[in-house]
Structures are given as C-alpha cells and as structure tokens.
Amino acid sequence: MTNQYRSVFDIIGPIMIGPSSSHTAGAVAIGHVANRLFHAPIKKVIVRYYESFAQTHQGHGTDYAIISGVLGFDPADQRVPMAVDLARRQGIEVEFIEDPGDSPVNHPNTAELTLINSQKSLTIWGCSIGGGTIEIRKVDLNGIIFQPDGPLPIIFVESDQEIGTALDHIFKDNYRGARISVRVPGRFLYKLELLDKPYPEQVEQVRGMSKDMIVL
Amino acid sequence: MYTKIHELVQTAQERQLPISELIIEQEIQMSHSSREIIWATMGKNLDVMLAAEEKGVTGEGVQSATGITGGEAVLMKRYREKGQSLSGDIMLEAVQNAIATNEVNASMGIICATPTAGSAGTLPGILSVITKQLSLDRDAQIRFLFCASAFGMVVANDAMIAGATGGCQAEVGSASAMGAAAAVEAAGGTPQQSSEAFAMAMSNLLGLVCDPVAGLVEVPCVKRNVIGSVNALTSADMALAGLVSKIPADEVISAMKSIGENLPSTLRETGLGGLAATPTGIALKMQIFGQDMSIDK
C-alpha cells in the first residue's frame, strides 16, 4: 500500500472537468480501464457504487465521468458531462446501482463496473484513491478472476504460446508481486503488476510475442 | 523515490540543489520522459490554472448547476477595486483567485487538480500572490509547481490526499502545506525553511473535516481554499522569518494520517455530517435533489 503516487502529475494534475478529482477524474480513469480491457462493442454497462461513491456520485458527476471513461474520453473532454446520453444514443444500456454495503475491496470510493456484450463480460473493482489516481483491486474477465494489489501499471497479455518465462525476463527488475498465469483453452493469459511504467523497449519486446497486450 | 520530507531536505542540502530540481530528476527517471516534455506538461497545467482564475472573474463569473456557489470571485474583485480592504489587497489577490478557481471547478469547468479538484484553488491563490510579490517569470511559476508536487507526493504516499479517506485536512491541508513549502523556495528560502513552512501550514489545518453540503464540491469547499491559500502564505512568511515548527514535517504528516483514520465516515466526504448535516445543509440538499435520491432518471 505504499507509494501509489509515482509521478508529479499525479499531484499537480490531472487537467479535468470539475468538480471532484476522486469522484469525477478518478471515475473517468476507472471507466477507461474497463474500456481498454474490454476493447469490443458494448451492449450494457452496470455501475455499482459503494460507500462515499454511493453517497455522492449524483452531485459529483460520477455517472457521466465513469461512462466517459468507458467511451474512451479523457477527463478534460468537453463531452464528459454528456457521456451518459451519448452512450444511450449509441445503443448502450446503462444502469447505476447504489450498494448500501461496504466496499468488497475495502476502499470508500469503490466502483464495480461491468461491461457486457453477447460474447463476453468484464467486471472491474476500481478505487479512486484521491487526486484522480486510481487502483484496480479485482478483475473478472469472463469468469477468470485476478486480484491485483491495486496500483497501476498492471499489464494483461494474452498469447497462444507459453511466454511466462520470456515476460519474467523482460520485466523482472520491475515486478511488483508475482506474475499470474492462467491457461484458457488454446490461450495463455498473464497478469503482471509493475512498480513503474514499462520502458518503450519493453513494450516493443512483448508486442513481438503477442499482439494482445494491455498496459493499464 | 523520496518518501520523507527529511530526505528531500537532506539531499537538497547535500547536493546544493533546490527541491524542485530533485523532483524533476526523479520524474525523468520514473517516467522515462525527457526534461523538456516534463517541463512542457507542467507548463500546460499552469496554463489551465491561469485560465480558470481568469474565467472565474470574467463578466459575472460562473455559476454551478445547483446555484449554491458562483459569482463571488467577482464580488471580491469589485470589493478590491474600492481599495479599502481590511487584510490588504495582496492577500485578497489570493482570496479572489482561490475562489475563482473553485467556482470554475464547481461549475464543471476545466481545472487542474492540485492535488485534488476540491482543493484546486489553494495553489493558484498562493502562486498569484508570490508571482506579484517576487516578480516570478513563467519558468519560476512552473518550478513552484514542481516543488509543491515534491511535498505533495510524500503526503499522498505517506498519508492521504482524498477527503473520503482523510477529510479536508488531507485536501486543502495538503495543498496549503505544499504551497507554503514551494513559496519558501520561490522566495529564496532554504530547503529546511520549506520544510518548516510545510509543517506549520499542515499543523494549522489538522482536523479539518470534509463535510460538503449535499455531497457537492461547493459549500464549504470553495471558501476553504481561501484559508488554504492564506494559511500557506503566512506559514511561508513565518518560516522565512526564522520561525520553526516544533514538530518535524514528517511527524505532522503522520499526525494528519492518524487523525484522518480516526475521523468518522460522516466527516469524510459522505455529505452526512458537519455543515452538511445542519438544518440549512439538509434543506439545500432537499432543494437540489428533492426527496428522491436514487439515480434512475
């Protein structure tokens, strides 16, 4: 739980549409993670809020913020306040739920965000820890569950080859915790948590082995 | 990575470098970007801050969607024009800019979070004053933001900067302390004096709760940024005058964290306690959201 903030721009920044860095900019960031992990047309979005998010999402624009992220907007995009309408106009069903219970991942600003289409589903549990910085504490990708420590960067790589050892070789000096590998029929899925942003060369090396790499 | 204020101060003393320079080095190392890109990015943040201050006092100013904040930066500007203030015009420069920035934030305008959106007015309030008093050029203003971020990163990692986890002391309190430290550096004070200013500024705002009316970043957030800015400037002056905090900065941060953890959740950005729970606070909430607080529209 130490050193979640690693850049001066986590402190001075982000540039954003108000009013709340935790509840607006952080929510955009959580939506953005879901957008990048799902990377497919979306049929339905379900947002379940806990604790402070559940109490104040309405006044802080959290609804449109999180949907902005799902649509891939950045926090200073002028379309942010209109995102819920824009999503519905694109035919995406959007539902918000205020859960009266405690956060299942132990943070007052927690959003559980589910994206669904006819082929797949994704749920992420995102925490907005302050100043627009977020953590992802749980991911359910088609029933495969990952429970990262939380701080980004988190990397997901999918490959038809077993490339775990090669990934260890590329990132070993930058690992935060263990690499998780999951075997799905015909594919291998890897989750890595890094201490720092990967170097461009490292990203290139992974792309040489797999086109399916998402750096969160 | 610098994880304590005393590490920043000690390294700055040993290497005879300003704290702003140490954090720029760290950013280059951690982000794998160039100095030029990092500097330009901070410059963009500065531009957004200046634009928000301007927007907040242009014409009749801005209004939030709820109507409970807005237009008061303009009132302050007009008051200043009369030249008969009690606290002196330069202090009211900070007041005006802190209010203007947070009114723009509440009106869903574009701001730069420093470190949060709720506390976005504190640093601009401080910076506008020292820019005038010290005739700072653009580069010196950018350097001020780097120095502030160095102190802010220690607080964010060692304690918290979210109202939901630590109360307003973690937002406006942190912003004020960061700004006090950076103002000292901009004025030519020593790294140790920055640390003293930081410690005094944060000590003065310990215990400040986050009790926003209707859960909105409006009341009392807009005006709490004023106290953040003014407290930072006076703390910086105290440090430059040689006054010291008996409790070292890192211990003040620990105290802030412990107080934050002990605050009940009603006083941590839930809009359920403090000013939010007053009869008028509740009436405003009813007026804004009506009876039905559910989201389905």
pLDDT digit string (tens) for B48-102? 999 999 999 999 999 999 999 999 999 999 999 999 999 999 999 999 999 999 9
Say whether the ipTM exceeds 0.90: yes
The answer to whether A11 contacts B48, with C-beta atoms less than 8 Å apart, is no
Whole-number pLDDT of residue B47:
98
Whole-number pLDDT of residue A176:
86
pLDDT level of residue A2 (50, 70, 90 thresholds): low
Q: Is the pLDDT of residue B294 over 50?
A: no
Q: Which two tokens stand for residue B246?
A: 């008996």
Q: CB-based contact (8 Å) between B202 and chain A?
A: no
Q: Which two tokens stand for residue B229?
A: 């800015």
Domain with B133 in it: 5-289
Q: Which two tokens stand for residue A205?
A: 């090396």
**Residue A56: closest C-alpha in chain B:** B215
Q: How far is CA B253 from CA A87, B174, B275, in A?
A: 42, 9, 25
pLDDT digit string (tens) for A38-63? 999 999 999 999 998 998 898 788 99
**Residue A94: closest C-alpha in chain B:** B296
Percent of chain B with pLDDT over 90: 94
Of B104, B164, B293, the CB nearest to A52: B164
- Nearby residues of A121 by Cβ (< 8 Å), 6 or more positions away: A114, A115, A140, A142
Q: Is the pLDDT of residue B3 over 80?
A: yes
Q: Assess if residue B151 is contained within a domain.
A: yes
Q: Is the pLDDT of residue A1 over 60?
A: no
Number of structural domains (chain B) is 1
CB B203 within 8 A of CB B247: yes
pLDDT level of residue B295 (50, 70, 90 thresholds): very low
Per-domain residue ranges of chain A: 8-150, 153-216
Whole-number pLDDT of residue B291:
53
Whole-number pLDDT of residue B297:
33
Q: Is the pLDDT of residue A18 over 90?
A: no
CATH level 2 (architecture), domain A8-150: 2-Layer Sandwich (3.30)
Q: Is the pLDDT of residue B296 over 60?
A: no
- Nearby residues of A73 by Cβ (< 8 Å), 6 or more positions away: A28, A79, A80, A83
Query: What is the distance between the alpha carbons of residues B78 and B286, in angstroms, rounded to a whole number?
Result: 32
Q: CB-based contact (8 Å) between A106 and chain B?
A: no
- Helix (H) or strand (E) holding A56, with range, is helix A51-60
pLDDT level of residue B292 (50, 70, 90 thresholds): very low
- Nearby residues of A46 by Cβ (< 8 Å), 6 or more positions away: A95, A97, A113, A114, A116
Sheet architecture: strand order including A212-215? A180-184, A187-193, A154-159, A212-215
Whole-number pLDDT of residue B289:
85
**Residue B101: closest C-alpha in chain A:** A18
Q: CB-based contact (8 Å) between A76 and chain B?
A: yes
Closest CA to B123 of B162, B105, B153, B149: B149
Q: CB-based contact (8 Å) between B146 and chain A?
A: yes
CATH number of residue B239's parent domain: 1.10.4100
The answer to whether A57 contacts B269, with C-beta atoms less than 8 Å apart, is no
| Fold of the A153-216 domain | Alpha-Beta Plaits (3.30.70)
Q: CB-based contact (8 Å) between B122 and chain A?
A: no
Q: Is the pLDDT of residue A197 over 90?
A: no
The shortest C-alpha distance from B296 to chain A (Å) reads 7
Question: Which one has a higher pLDDT value, B19 or A78?
Answer: B19
Q: Which two tokens stand for residue A154?
A: 């988190």
Angle of helix B191-205 relative to helix B138-158, nearest 10 degrees, comes to 60
Closest CA to A196 of A6, A27, A50: A6
Q: Is the pLDDT of residue A198 over 50?
A: yes
The answer to whether B164 contacts A4, with C-beta atoms less than 8 Å apart, is no
Average pLDDT of chain B, as a whole number? 95
Query: A with B: how many residue pairs have Cβ under 8 Å apart?
Result: 195
DSSP reduced 3-state for B162: coil
What average pLDDT does the segment A75-100 reach? Answer: 96
What average pLDDT does the segment B196-205 reach? Answer: 98
Closest CA to B157 of A8, A106, A4: A4
pLDDT digit string (tens) for A109-162? 999 999 999 999 999 999 999 999 999 999 999 999 999 999 999 999 999 999
Q: Assess if residue B119 is contained within a domain.
A: yes
Residues, chain A? 216
Q: Is the pLDDT of residue A4 over 90?
A: no
Contacts of A132 in chain B (CB under 8 A): 113, 116-117
The answer to whether B271 contacts A56, with C-beta atoms less than 8 Å apart, is yes
Q: CB-based contact (8 Å) between B186 and chain A?
A: no
pLDDT digit string (tens) for B208-241? 999 999 989 999 999 999 999 999 999 999 999 9
DSSP reduced 3-state for B114: coil
What average pLDDT does the segment A78-83 reach? Answer: 93
pLDDT digit string (tens) for B118-175? 999 999 999 999 999 999 999 999 999 999 999 999 999 999 999 999 999 999 999 9
Chain A, residues 133-152, CB within 8 A of chain B, namely: 133
The answer to whether B116 contacts A22, with C-beta atoms less than 8 Å apart, is yes
Q: CB-based contact (8 Å) between B272 and chain A?
A: yes
pLDDT level of residue A172 (50, 70, 90 thresholds): confident
Q: Assess if residue B172 is contained within a domain.
A: yes
- DSSP calls for B214-270: GG-SSTTHHHHHHHHHHHHHHHHHHHHTT---SS-HHHHHHHHHHHHHHS-GGGBSS
Percent of chain B with pLDDT over 70: 98
Angle of helix A62-70 relative to helix A51-60, nearest 10 degrees, comes to 90
Give Cα A81 distance to the centre of its chain.
20
pLDDT level of residue B249 (50, 70, 90 thresholds): very high
- DSSP calls for B47-113: HHHHHHHHHHHSTT--B-TTSSSBSHHHHHHHHHHTT--SS-HHHHHHHHHHHHHHHHHHTT-EEE-
Q: Assess if residue B273 is contained within a domain.
A: yes
Q: How far is CA A19 from CA A132, A204, B78, B101, in A?
A: 11, 38, 26, 11
pTM: 0.92
Query: What is the distance between the alpha carbons of residues B74 and B196, in angstroms, rounded to a whole number?
Result: 34
pLDDT level of residue A3 (50, 70, 90 thresholds): confident
Cα-atom radius of gyration of chain A, to the nearest Å?
17
